[in-house]
A and B are shown apart, each in its own frame.
Chain A
Amino acid sequence: MKKVISLFAACLLLVGMMAFAGFSASAATPKEDIVAAVKAAMPDKYEDQYLPMLENVLSQIDVTAEQAETVIGYIDTVKAAIKADKGASLSEYSKEEVAVVLDNFDKACTTLGLTYEFVDAEDPDHEGDVDCIIYLEEGTKIGSVDGDGVKKTGAPETNTALMVVFGAFVVVAAGAAVYGKKLLASR
């Protein structure tokens, strides 16, 4: 079964996954309203883990009170559709639940003037991991949401491959030079 934590995390961003507490808009700014709605919609254990993503998206856009109200409506829809916390893997949820999340995530992005795409993760730790790349409507990338987080911090792969090829060339060249010399000497 494919583990697609990053897809789930991306969906958590704007729509909130679990229905646990009611929410009433009372925070000072539209962005704070959205964050408060998501916090109210998800269990505490996910709150710390995923909220910085949402805040980092919001920090790069402007949000009106009308947009916030619409987005909070989508969050409420998801709250109503997801009956219980089944963990952080999308595969644990029914097709219907996933469809509601994705549909409302799409609507929330449209409302906020954002587009997105799911792409294969750069460094997948699990088969089928995807990243969610978020853009402004005009195409500027404003975020990349992944599920795992720990990056590959050894040597960059291209350079490793090049160094191996480089080393192989040196060894073969040295061998060929010695053999060529022998051939010349035997003439």
Chain B
Amino acid sequence: MMKRVFTALRKSPFYKGFFLLLPYVLAVAVIFSGVILVYQEVVSTSEYYRVFTGNADTTAGERPSTPPGEVVPDKGHIPVIPFESQWATLNVDGWEERDIPVYFGDSKAILKKGAGMWFNSRFCGQGGKTVLSAHVTRHFYEIEDTVVGTRITMDTVYGQYVYEVSEIKIFSYKDSSLIKQDGSQNTLVMYTCYPRKNGYQTKAERMALVCTMVSGKEWATYG
């Protein structure tokens, strides 16, 4: 019975037409997927696109509206850096990837655009740990090729900071002890998924560059 139905189906013009048209339909789908992929990887992450669509990053230094009452101005603090704005550009000696934008916050949307600074970390020069993460398939691809002693430059909106890689650590994605403040002073921690061939696995380990500040101005915190 099934064999007869199948034979009849094979002889029908619809069956042949379907398989003749299928490559064209799939070719269109391939092109469509490719266009979306290019859009996501290249166009939407481009600064030109963000300017064109009016989503350009806000610049640091803009203060929110003042509440009623007497306000004592902050002295010796870094300028106000709005959440989710770009506040620095990162360069690592020897990396092909140059001028990596660094944002305040590390949401998925931010990590598509550049490196993100964890909200529970401090800015450069504030005396604690500055914690940056980025995708291994994008901006931090070359972390695995970095060696101890490599020079790292952070050009922030309030000055330049130079660091040197002092340690390279591998840690579990479940272990956040390395990125938490622990009393270490003026440290930059940059991490991404490890190894990079496992970058598509959600539970890959992480590799971190732990860097010590070589030069840069120090600023006050509220604590």
**B178-223 contacts to A (CB < 8 Å):** 179-183, 191-193, 198-202, 204, 206, 221-223
Nearest residue (CB) in A for B22 is A176
Task: Contact check, B16 vs A154: say whether CB atoms are below 8 A apart.
Answer: no
Q: Which residue of B lies closest to A176 (CB)?
A: B22
| Interface size counted on chain A using CB atoms at 8 A | 69
Q: How far is the CA of A152 from the CA of B97 in the complex (A)?
A: 20
Residues in B whose Cβ lies below 8 Å from that of A138: 65
Within 8 A of B (CB), among A126-179: 136, 138, 140-146, 148-156, 158-160, 162-163, 165-166, 169-170, 172-173, 176-177, 179
Task: Tell me the A37-73 residues at the B interface (CB within 8 Å).
Answer: 39, 48-56, 58-67
Any A CB within 8 A of the CB of B74: yes
Q: Which residues of B contact A52 (CB under 8 A)?
A: 119-122, 128, 181
**Which one of A17-25, A28-36, A91-99 contacts B?**
A28-36
**A186 nearest CB across to chain B (Å):** 9
Q: Does A180 lie within 8 Å of B71, measured CB to CB?
A: no
Q: Known contacts A153-B134, A165-B33, A166-B34; is A30 also within 8 Å of B72 by CB?
A: yes
Residues from chain B with Cβ under 8 Å of A154 in the complex:
135-137, 193, 198-202, 204
By secondary structure, the B interface counts as loop
Give B residues with C-beta under 8 Å from A: 16, 19-20, 22-23, 26-27, 29-30, 33-34, 36-37, 40-41, 63-72, 74, 77-78, 80-84, 104-108, 111-112, 116, 118-122, 128, 131, 133-137, 140, 173-176, 179-183, 191-193, 198-202, 204, 206, 221-223
15 sampled A-B residue pairs with Cβ under 8 A:
A28-B72, A48-B180, A50-B120, A54-B222, A59-B77, A64-B70, A144-B83, A151-B106, A153-B206, A154-B137, A154-B199, A160-B200, A162-B37, A172-B26, A177-B23
Enumerate chain A interface residues (CB-CB to B < 8 A): 9, 28-32, 34-36, 39, 48-56, 58-67, 112-113, 122-123, 125, 136, 138, 140-146, 148-156, 158-160, 162-163, 165-166, 169-170, 172-173, 176-177, 179-180, 183-184
